[in-house]
Structure 1
């Protein structure tokens, strides 16, 4: 078989090529020919196909994502923004923190364990590539109906993959979400977040500069697993019987990754790299083209020097392979020997596969024959940009008109009691300890807070107790009702969760999970969610540092709910002053912060009791959200509050239940004047929290809230061994705990 070299391609312009099978459209293939002035070689076609895929090029989303830059709030904390492997923010004392969330949805449906495990591995390498030591992971997860047989296949495998990989790396898993909804039945969402810490001077970027500098591939050998992998798989819808394309899901080796992490950190410590990139989606195609594109010259690569696990791989397969645990570094010639010594010390394979050149081309050779000669920017950064048509769906008005106000409400205390128990036992509100107990939350000894707390918190300096808190949130039901407001509510909840623990919110990462961009209704949802999130980030002063877009999350014609998942990172000067959510001492006074309205559209109550989705999501006042955060942070810092918990899914009764069960203490509640017991317990009005105030601090706390204009209503006291709503019902904690704890183990038994 003739090797398809650039010379051969120039001489055979009419050769048939499998561009459609590789996911390219005809006009995209013609554009590649125009760029090159000839047909592409097989290797070039492989590179363009994976790099121009939806997953890698963001070709349908770029036009909307640019708002995150155009509307970005001024931020003294931002050190590295959108466009790098991960964003970086200044958290004080010379420390910088990098964090990012990404998706591994389709691979996790096909092969739950490896799909989820390699999702963790990939996001950890993104953080590592910035120069940081990874210190924690989180996992926002969404599955189909909790009682569906396939959920029993997917959920345990995903959880085992996350736990198996993260635990082996020695990274604490400090938070996330587990949400069930039939819309995710054939398309679960497995999003993974990682946080890393470094000093300012240790930041590294993905660029290849300096002619003569060497290109070193190090880490695992390249195999046939994941050829085309997530770059192709995540750029297609699933058909009714399974995915349209089934490239092999990547196979992870966490022990190899642990060696790679320690090796890379030692390399950074000795200042041996001029640029670095991890190998994730699109593998070597991505690493070489992005490094060359971001640098000041070109690059020459000898592909036949790449260490292989499978000697039968073709050049195209090597370029497309998404084998895990690999990195690509740019190293000055005088530092190569030391670089290789460190790799050998850590038992990490390292090979010089090329060098940076004076020109402006990425050239790849196979046994001396040129098989790639491309302008690297056209591969990595100048792919197609689609202005997809979008249109408010015809069913949106009817959905919003179908409000929760028409639903039958409980008629008295006994019915209220029954519905409270049904709510706290429902799969989405029930304890997720079956999941989180499989994760090591405290390895490394710096975990200050972890699930089920409002946000995870990590100490990053043992002397000063400086720390960071991170929360992730998203509500696909709200976003289905109104994607603009739904995205803002996801940000607000995550922002509130960080503030509830005493940390000041600084920055945002997001994972935007949507259906097919070829559907104008889905594209409208996406456009509205981006607009909403950008507007809210500007008002809250929290810039988007980076993230991920995951499209084509649908089976046949059925798309998932639009699900923007928003991660917020905050800083706390002293982690010993953090605020937990548990009610810990009898006699503490329970205050409700914020205003409660009759807002039940998209609520947990409407879902659990009536199986209903319709109406409008809660209204959001971002100025009030900022004020609430200020109160929570000041109350934590100044010792005025002993516990805090945000109000979101399930409303006040869910939050009180969780705080009571967390501390093993009961609560006696009084319904405030002007509210019905039902609205008081189940409303999901935004910008609210409950706090436990020591009696000695009540006057000072009320003075602070009054001076700042924050409504603060005393609604009860921590007392006894039941949750009692005066004049309505009482539920012993033992009964609440049994209802809350039993659901998930029973479903997965």
Structure 2
């Protein structure tokens, strides 16, 4: 680790001396891109993060949002949820199991920091081409790591996405979101409150794992990263995390915590300095009081190790003994490592006294001050980068000529659009008995009985979209996630994002990253959905090249009750199948850019135009989805109508549909494969009511009706496609078949 020359000059000027080795390492990590957002923070003001529902927005360990007051819950208190998302990209390349597992552990501890209990997880995963053995190795290891950690701590993984794209081969992405539950009385923040309060470290012992993890996450992956960077990857212990979750509940229930911060990037140094800096305060920490699992650790190792399952709490002196007793009850380590002050952030160390809990004043006076800096300068002093950006070139138009049946089979069987059952069957998505709609649907639904409401959760991205058109692709991602939530009858409430990009020092890469920020911010504001928090991960670059600009959005919505319309059609219910929102089909101006169809056949085209009234579409779809006459609803996005129709049939119920010709389109099959977002298929017994509801909002087209034949019969122009439910199931089993 080394501090950049320009940064060192700033530090020397501020300190009026050379930094100690521990200070230099601390500045390098906390001023890294991973922690300081030096290249992205100037862009993030584009996001609207305020709203009457927002209790705590960006800047804390997790955001806090108030659920609408339905007045029919189990408690009279206003119910809050917490929302957080983070990336563990580089660690998951070096060690897919531990890298992904500790990503789950970290986002769960961010939830604990706010005084909340974790109730749901969601994961969005991005890998290289599925047919490559290395991609499969990473994929299997990451899924195993997430399932192991999430299942062991008893938090259901209920939603997510998986994408495969050649440009992730040298740098996969692992983005994990967590939703927690709390209320006003239980709320805790990461803002230190009072000088004289003690700083207490609770959880696992500190080892040497994860050293320099923050700076490692802020560099391109080298060719030998899998071996050389392994020490920077943390090792998780989910059973200790489960104990920490339950101990944290007791701390919060008994009102013992004044503020809290989980130990993630930059370890104890990052957590404790950020905690006191937010309160405009300082700290005095005695590093050798930290409980350790390895002998002879030096000050820098103790300060920066990213050992997992650890929390830093601010505790009033009178409550320290009770906190220690609760930690002991849960078999967790507990160290009183220092106190909050009104001065500098100071860390002392006496290696000869490591592990000694003596509080003798002479001992304290003899300790060497290895860090003595202003906490605010440490946390906020990093200069922002002013980087050049160029707009990515638009793809050339190159529409392939294909056979309809061959194209359908290729798109439906693509790993990107095929069933993800292999993934989510490994997750316990029912633990906690809140899940009423689980993974595999448009959005999951969690029962928040305390508020008498269902919480819909959708998360995902679309690298094909944002590669083709960063701005419009990101806008489409926001609209698609909102459509997922609306299809379950929920009203969008708030979102968090994980913004992943390559090396921002490359103008074309930074241009693409700037585009996804602008597009995501614009559509979320249009949908009146505040982006209340998030994470930025840059330098996702390797010898294989940069990743596509990849925004992951995790969006939640609320609805009365916990039920939702089905995804599959019901032949016994009758009615019609309607397509709503396909303005491209109506206008005959279909763009295939970013579609799985073009990805399969190496074509190019402009990105499809987005609907003119996206907010009205979401509002109307939410209302229609909750109507008694609505039987099934499914959004139309990745893979277009071809995939959406295939996913709606079963052995007991099929569909006979006719896709209208697409006006001036050169190929009427385009209607089956374009991926304009904001569309949905609705089975309803009151089609005229649906048409009336969408009058002036979005076009409504009748495609046909359900059948009891267990097959899809699809007529496109003068061509007819026929596939049984069994044949479609076989097509969609690509991932399971490919991993056998």
Report the TM range for the smaller structure's normalisation. over 0.9
Identify which of 387, 403, 406 aligns with 2:397. 403
Contact 2:283–2:346, Cα closer than 8 Å, also in 1: yes
Contact 2:571 2:654 in 1 (8 A): no
Aligned to 1:8: none
In structure 2, the partner of 1:616 is: 606
Q: Residue in 2 aligned with 1:585?
A: 571
Which deviates more from structure 2 when the two are superposed, residues 725-734 or residues 711-720? 725-734
Quote the residue 2:358 is aligned against.
Answer: none
Report the equivalent of 1:12: none
Corresponding residue for residue 57 of structure 1? 36
Q: Is residue 2:243 matched to residue 1:262?
A: no
Question: What are the Cα deviations for residues 65-123 of structure 1, in whole angstroms up to 9, with x where unaligned?
Answer: 1222xxx2652111110111111111134111111211101100110100000000001
Q: Is the 8 A contact 1:132 1:202 kept in 2?
A: yes
Report the alpha carbon displacement of residue 241 of structure 1 after superposing the two structures with TM.
4.2
Structure 1: distance between partners of 2:230 and 2:502 = 19
Q: 1:138, CA displacement in angstroms?
A: 0.7
Number of the residue aligned with 1:4? none
Secondary structure of the 2:473 match is helix
Alignment partner, residue 45 of structure 2: 66
Deviations 1:268-306 (A, max 9, x none): 011111110000111111111101101142210011000
**Contact preservation (8 Å) 1:215, 1:355:** yes
2:500 pairs with 1:510: no
Distance 1:57 1:664, change over 3 A: farther
Please name the residue that 1:187 is paired with.
171
Question: Which of 191, 194, 209 in structure 1 is aligned with 2:193?
Answer: 209
- TM-score of the pair, normalised by structure 1: 0.91
- 1:292 and 1:362 in contact (8 A); partners too: no
Pick closer, same or farther for the CA change 1:555–1:358 going to 2, 3 Å. Answer: closer
Q: Distance in 2 between matches of 1:50 and 1:687?
A: 41
Where do 1:527-542 residues align within 5 Å? 527-542=514-529
Q: CA deviation at 1:683?
A: 1.7
Task: Sort the Cα spacing of 1:664 and 1:289 in 2 relative to 1 into closer, same or farther, 3 A.
Answer: farther
Counterpart of 1:3 in structure 2 is none
**Following TM superposition, by how much is the alpha carbon of 1:681 offset from its aligned partner in structure 2, in angstroms?**
1.3
Counterpart of 2:590 in structure 1 is 598
Q: CA deviation at 1:382?
A: 2.0
Q: Which residue of 2 aligns with 1:439?
A: 427
8 Å contact 1:85–1:206 — kept in the other structure? yes
Residue 362 (structure 2) aligns with: none
Secondary structure (helix, strand or coil) at the match of 1:201 reads coil
Q: Does the CA-based 8 Å contact 1:624-1:687 persist in structure 2?
A: no
Distance 1:495 1:732 in 2: 31
- Match of 1:77? 53
Q: Which moved more, 1:726-735 or 1:559-568?
A: 726-735
User: 1:379 corresponds to which residue?
Assistant: 378
5 Å matches for 1:22-37? Answer: 22=2, 24-37=3-16
What residue in structure 1 maps to residue 74 of structure 2?
none
Aligned twin of 2:297: 313
Instruction: Please give the per-residue CA displacement for 1:663-685, whole angstroms capped at 9, x wherever unaligned.
Output: 74210002235556412311212
Kept in 1, the 8 Å contact 2:462–2:477? The answer is yes
Contact preservation (8 Å) 2:202, 2:334: yes
Which of 618, 637, 658 matches 1:648?
637
C-alpha distance in 1, partners of 2:556/2:652?
29
State the secondary structure of the residue aligned to 1:547.
strand
CA distance in structure 1 between the partners assigned to 2:483 and 2:570 by the alignment: 21
- The one-character-per-residue Cα deviations of 1:365-395 (angstroms, maximum 9, x if unpaired) are 44522111100011112222111122235xx
Distance 1:321 1:643 in 2: 51
* 1:422 corresponds to: 410
> 1:511 is paired with a residue of what secondary structure?
strand
* SS of aligned partner of 1:386: coil
Q: Would you say 1:470 and 2:470 are equivalent positions?
A: no
The within-5 A match list for 1:271-286 is 271-286=255-270
Structure 1 distance, partners of 2:739, 2:672, is 30
Q: Give the CA deviation at 1:125.
A: 0.5
Distance 1:646 1:338 in 2: 52
- TM-score, normalising length: structure 2: 0.92
Please tell me whether the aligned partners of residues 46 and 319 of structure 1 are also in contact (alpha carbons under 8 angstroms).
no
Whether 2:682 is the aligned partner of 1:699: answer no
| Map of 2:481 onto structure 1 | 494
The separation in 2 between residues aligned to 1:737 and 1:296, in whole angstroms, is 59
Q: Distance in 1 between matches of 2:56 and 2:191?
A: 14
Question: For residues 253 and 240 of structure 1, what CA distance do their matches in structure 2 show?
Answer: 29
What SS does the corresponding residue of 2:723 show, helix, strand or coil?
Answer: strand
1:638 aligns with 2:627: yes
1:515 Cα offset (Å)? 0.4
Partner of 1:683: 674
Contact 2:661 2:671 in 1 (8 A): no
Aligned to 2:546: 559
CA distance in 1, matches of 2:691, 2:675: 24
Question: What is the aligned counterpart of 2:536 among 542, 549, 552?
Answer: 549
1:226-261 alpha-carbon deviations (Å, 9 max, x no partner): 1112x0221110234436755331000000000000
Cα RMSD of the aligned pairs, angstroms, is 1.7
Please state whether the residue corresponding to 1:667 is helix, strand or coil: strand
Matches within 5 A, 1:516-531: 516-531=503-518
1:149 matched to 2:133? The reply is: yes
Aligned equivalents of 1:343, 1:203: Cα separation in 2: 20
Q: How far did residue 619 of structure 1 move?
A: 1.7
- Aligned partners of 1:672 and 1:80: how far apart in 2? 48
The 3 A distance-change label for structure 1 pair 302 and 490 is same
SS of match in other structure, 1:67: coil
Contact 1:476 1:561 (8 Å CA) reproduced? yes
Inter-partner Cα distance in structure 2 for 1:31 and 1:417: 64
Q: Deviations over 1:517-552 (max 9, x none)?
A: 111111111122212222222221111111111111
Paired residue total: 703
Summarize the alignment of residues 159-308 of structure 1 with structure 2, pairs less than 5 Å apart: 159-229=143-213, 231-242=214-225, 245-308=229-292
Q: Is contact 1:449-1:580 (8 Å) kept?
A: no
Q: Contact 2:159–2:443 (CA<8 Å) still a contact in 1? A: yes
CA distance in 1 between counterparts of 2:184 and 2:487 reads 28
Q: CA deviation at 1:624?
A: 2.3
CA distance in 2, matches of 1:564, 1:377: 30
Quote the Cα distance in structure 1 between the aligned partners of 2:697 and 2:534. 35
User: Against the structure 1 CA distance between its residues 705 and 389, is the aligned structure 2 distance closer, same or farther, given a 3 Å change threshold?
Assistant: closer
User: Mean Cα displacement is larger for which, 280-289 or 632-641?
Assistant: 632-641
Matched with 1:716 is: 704
TM-superposed deviation, 1:557: 6.6
Give the deviation of 1:152 after TM superposition: 2.4
Aligned to 2:359: none
Question: Could you tell me whether the CA contact under 8 Å between 1:651 and 1:683 is conserved in 2?
Answer: yes
